Amino acid sequence: MPTITPATGPASTEVSVAYITGPAGERVVGAGDGWELMPVGIGTEATIERLVYASLFSDARLDGDLDPGDGTDDRRGWWADALEGPGERTGSLLWWLLRGTPAARDLEDAAREALAWMVRERVCSRIEVTAGVLGRRATLAVSVVLLTGDRVPVTYPDLWSAYG
């Protein structure tokens, strides 16, 4: 299972570079080379699955024209998103979509948007997402295609239970 591993060395007391390693700890060539410097203390077990989970199940802030839908003005989100560029946000809108009965396409779009940073940051070359909705049950299947061509599948067979 690929993992994100901080580099070690004299400079690692202040910053380290994250890169992807394979099951035996070998560096996966061409994977994650575009990663920015990350602070020391980032765990060495940040697997692709964990990156997907954190991206999908961290609540993105609602845009100004969307109603939270629960009678409050709680738009959720992360404060640092105000520092990001237009249209960039941390997390996903799955929390908001799952308050109703969304179409599969809406779940797929929300997941793709939340995971797009992985392609921009060269953690992977492509993200494939498939969702299904049947009554109050939703499924979500993500395939992370690494720069090497290897695929890491991440599935949520019962998205509502996984979310809350």
Task: Give the predicted TM-score (pTM) of the model.
Answer: 0.68
The predicted structure's pLDDT at residue 37: 36
Query: Of 119, 110, 116, which Cα lies nearest the Cα of 156?
Result: 110
d(CA 120, CA 126): 10
Q: Reply yes or no on whether the pLDDT at 94 is more than 60.
A: yes
Q: Which helix (H) or strand (E) holds 155?
A: strand 151-156
d(CA 94, CA 138): 11
Cβ atoms of residues 16 and 37 within 8 Å: yes
Grade residue 26 by pLDDT with cuts at 50, 70 and 90: low
What does the pLDDT average to over 31-42?
Answer: 43
- CA gyration radius, the chain: 17
Q: Reply yes or no on whether the pLDDT at 142 is more than 80.
A: yes
- The four Cα atoms 29, 19, 118, 157 give a dihedral, to 10 degrees, of 90
> 76-80, 89-93, 112-116, 140-144: which range is least confident on average?
76-80
d(CA 4, CA 10): 19
* Other CB atoms within 10 A of residue 7 CB: 14
